[in-house]
Structure 1
């Protein structure tokens, strides 16, 4: 009679599990980058508008509000 050789398999320990992915989804990263850029742009616009409101004449060149001589 032919004897079959026993198959020896060693099971993995129960505590060993595949590691969780340590990366951020590309779409989520791109969305967060765009939101951060828009927030920075909004802050820059708020600061610029506040400066113009506080001192409107500094935003325009002096040549536009100096007296200009018109030749008749």
Structure 2
């Protein structure tokens, strides 16, 4: 028979897996946002990386 306190405890491996998936989804959302921003206006999005003396 299983102890009720043991079954109600959070599994550490499952917690790490869920945290990894959540962080991965957040990272992908940020990358999608940046890519959409770059596609919509490539000159404004890349203006911070270009040399101002060329313009």
Which TM-score band (shorter chain)? 0.7 to 0.9
SS in 2 for 1:58: helix
Mind listing any 5+ residue stretches in structure 1 that lack a counterpart? 1-17, 67-72
Alignment-derived partner of residue 42 in structure 2: 56
How is 1:1-72 mapped onto 2 (pairs within 5 angstroms)? Answer: 18-19=3-4, 21-61=7-47, 63=52, 66=55
Q: TM-score, normalised by structure 1?
A: 0.58
Between 1 and 2, higher relative CO (CA 8 Å, sep ≥ 6) is seen in 2
Question: RMSD value over aligned CA atoms?
Answer: 2.3
- Greater helix share, structure number: 2
Q: TM-score, normalised by structure 2?
A: 0.73
CA distance in 2, matches of 1:33, 1:26: 10
Aligned positions, number = 50
Q: Which has the larger radius of gyration?
A: 1
Runs of 4+ that moved beyond 3 A: none
